[in-house]
Amino acid sequence: MTEPSHWLPLTEENVRKAYDIIKPYIHHTPVLTSKTLNRIASSPQTTTDGQLPAAAQPKINLFFKCENYQRIGAFKVRGAFHAVLRLVQEMGEEDVRKRGLVTHSSGNHAQALALVAQTLNIPAYIVMPTISIPSKIAGTKSYGARVIFSGSTSQEREAIVERVIQETSAILVPPYEHPDVILGQGTAGLELAEQVSELVAKRPELSVHTPHTAARSGGGGGGGGAVLDAVITPLGGGGLTSGTATFFSESPATRVFGAEPSFEGGDDCRRGLAQGKRIETVKTLTIADGLRTPVGVIPWSVISDPRKVNGVYAVTEAQIKDAMRLVLERMKVVIEPSAAVPLAVVLYNEEFRRVVEKEGGEEGWNIGVVFSGGNTTVDVIGKLFADN
């Protein structure tokens, strides 16, 4: 990757510059809305016995950034293209091709780097856990990358990566642990802010705010007006969350939140924030397979800054499945479990919902939800819901 002396500062301006670089290579994914999910999100949630224990009742309108329609089916191509194109700018195309690229990933970054490598005619070595979803392995191989298998933990993956580097001199393109990757991921937030502003300008009824109150509340993400009160993203290694927070960091009217699975300690970032230090290892087999890694050092430097990220919340496996089911059945949109985690927080995490109720007041919040990817299969979905 680019050397530290060439690292770009994590700023909104550099997210915009990253967007200019990668725009020819990525899809401009849509933003969808749902009256049904707005209604559900704005209703008190019941307990398993049907009781209503002083549940929060925030007013929420949702805007879904559909990165499940992105190339390779996930946002990861944004960071991968930016990182490699910056690498080519610094080292030269010939040297990068001679050495090749290497990374480790459970699936989405794997496919993203494989696509980038194929597009730019660069060899790629991809280290993937043996438990990766078969369709993600097949997708990675389909782009011509060499797949090398490893254990499921980040330490096991990284050990294989080091061996590949020693044997081939390939250049590591990490899934999240680099400013170039983070800036690329932040472009999803840039698009989201602009798209929501355009939607609300054409259809003011989509917003919880009247035109008068929206204008009074100030800027909201790259000059788009305070249309989005909050954005919530899935959080694994932290590249998407920190990139989104970087874009909105100069727009205090838009809050940024992260969403994690709680299963087997998958909520390492949430726990780390509570303890005041980053948790370095995670070993979880949550159904949100894209979020099984610990938050990285560089993403942590952004996420742990309360001026940039307002909080991280976690949900259970059952809540993730419930949110995924709603998206499949009510919106007719296919997403993978990791992508359902932010919506699950909005719908079912009472702590988060009380924040929205308190800070949003009677008017409420417009919340952007990033559907990070859609790389799943009919077989996987069938198994997930077989017992429901």
Q: What is the CA radius of gyration of the chain?
A: 20
Q: Considering only CA atoms, which of 206, 197, 257 is closest in space to residue 227?
A: 197
Residues assigned a catalytic role = 76, 106
Q: How far is CA 45 from CA 5, 143, 175, 385, in A?
A: 50, 44, 36, 21
CA 115 and chain centroid, separation: 19
Residues 6 or more apart whose CB falls under 8 angstroms from that of 191 comprise 19, 28, 29, 65
Residue 281 CB-density burial (10 A; 0-12 exposed, 13-18 middle, 19+ buried): exposed
Q: Considering only CA atoms, which of 232, 237, 240, 234 is closest in space to residue 257?
A: 232
Residues 6 or more apart whose CB falls under 8 angstroms from that of 177 comprise 237, 296, 297, 298, 299
DSSP line for 138-173: HHHHHTTPEEEEE-SSHHHHHHHHHHHHHHH-PEE-
Q: Considering only CA atoms, which of 134, 114, 124 is closest in space to residue 74?
A: 114
Any idea of the CA torsion for 161, 114, 236, 10, to the nearest 10 degrees? Answer: 100
The rounded distance, in Å, linking the Cα atoms of 84 and 122 is 10
